[in-house]
Amino acid sequence: MQIIENLKVKEKLYIEKLENGLTVMIIPKKGIQKKYVIWGTNYGSNDSKFVVPGEKEPTEVPKGVAHFLEHKMFEQESGVNSLDTLTALGVDANAYTTNDHTAYLFECTDNFYPALDELMDYVQHPYFTDENVEKEKGIIGQEIMMYDDYPDWKVYLNALEAMYHEHPVKLDITGTIETISHIDKDILYKCYNTFYNPSNMAMVVCGDFEPEELLKEIKNRLIDKKANGEIKRIYPEEKEEIVKEKIEQNMDVSQPLFAIGIKDKIADTNERVKKHIAFEILLNMILGKSSKLYQELYNEGILFVTPGLDYEFARGYAHILITGQSPKPYEVYDKFKKTVEKMKNEPIDSEEFNRIKKRIYGQYVKEYNDTADIARMFLADFFKEINSFDYLEEITTVNEEYLQQILKEVFDDKKMIISVIKKG
């Protein structure tokens, strides 16, 4: 078992890749009552075209299969729903699907091993029939229609639509009513057998555990399944330029919502963390709570709450998203662009840079206070080929020159979009 220690947060990561290919990560937290386990597969909504290991021809499945699979995994042949079993044990269980991974999890103070029994049983034993797949289409169809009515979700999806020509990140994770109508049990089993192989999965456990003992317990609950070869994922060729700069939709909102996007190229593995940190610092300098621009927009009654500042990236895509609510969204966009241009032509404000960098470092350290934050972070980062500890190390390498370089390379007018949902 490999041990990676980070002295900055006084945490140890115990990591082992098992014979069947499963990666297990354990972060012990002595004296902490809460225990958190998350078991994920490197399979998200973007993965709808792929070559199954051992096959030559590509397989293409309808959009929304990863999310559909996640819904169906809880249903057992006995007629019992595993979510009900876990709830009866007094644990808080859930699952989710993103663009690049699917995860099953629970948090508890007691009954950890009985809950682990259930989690590892249902994730390893899918049960799909013609009847239960048809029934699920109705349930997921209602979920899709519900999300169609959420302005916050639509402003986000429309922003992706304005940025991406072909990449599946622009499509709804749930798929559409049309695409899910083509899903059947054979498709579900094919995707399960391809992507839910241990070699494509990782488990992260955080809590008061003896790592060696816990690892034995996990191994005892694994069914005998051999690692398969590499899954070749196929994504369409994506142009560097955006689709269109502005996209608008009318919905029932009290005040317009906006999403400002900047399309980026995915960084090399060794630069992903450093680039991500640079974006966090830059976005806070441009439009964070203490920025001059935010204060100005707040005083003018154009912004009332600090916007969301995010950088999203995974296989084949990367973008910045700034989301918020404003009576004058286009004015926010215009002033954002002008502020960026001004910053490009001036030296970085050292005092502000150092202050924000320290604050972001403090936020990184704070994430290690919570078992759930730690486990989810390590899983998501692992599937992006990142060790979460790297953020604590790389932040020291981000200097003003690098910030200026990223500002000039990425914050390009021609790569910027605005999505607006207004009342109508």
- Residue 86 CA to residue 104 CA, distance in Å, equals 12
Q: Torsions phi, psi of 336, nearest 5? A: -60, -50
Q: Helix, strand, or coil here: 281? A: helix
> If you search the block for the tokens 């289409």, which residue do you land on?
137
- Residue 146 CA to residue 9 CA, distance in Å, equals 42
Integer-rounded Cα Rg, in Å, for the chain is 23
Question: Exposure string (b/e) for 327-364, b if CB count within 10 Å is 16 or more?
Answer: ebbeebbebbeebbeebeeeebeeebbeebbeebbeeb
DSSP 240: S
Task: Judge whether 70 counts as a catalytic residue.
Answer: yes
Q: In Å, how far from its chain's centre is CA 424?
A: 32
Is there a contact between 44 and 102 (Cβ–Cβ < 8 Å)? yes
- Residue 247 CA to residue 252 CA, distance in Å, equals 17
Is there a contact between 105 and 37 (Cβ–Cβ < 8 Å)? yes
Q: Of 70, 118, 136, 238, which is the active-site residue?
A: 70
Q: Are strands 201-207 and 35-41 parallel, antiparallel or unpaired?
A: antiparallel
Q: CA dist 121 to 43, 68, 74, 88, Å?
A: 19, 19, 10, 16
Q: By C-alpha distance, which of 316, 320, 319 is closest to 384?
A: 316
Active site residues: 70
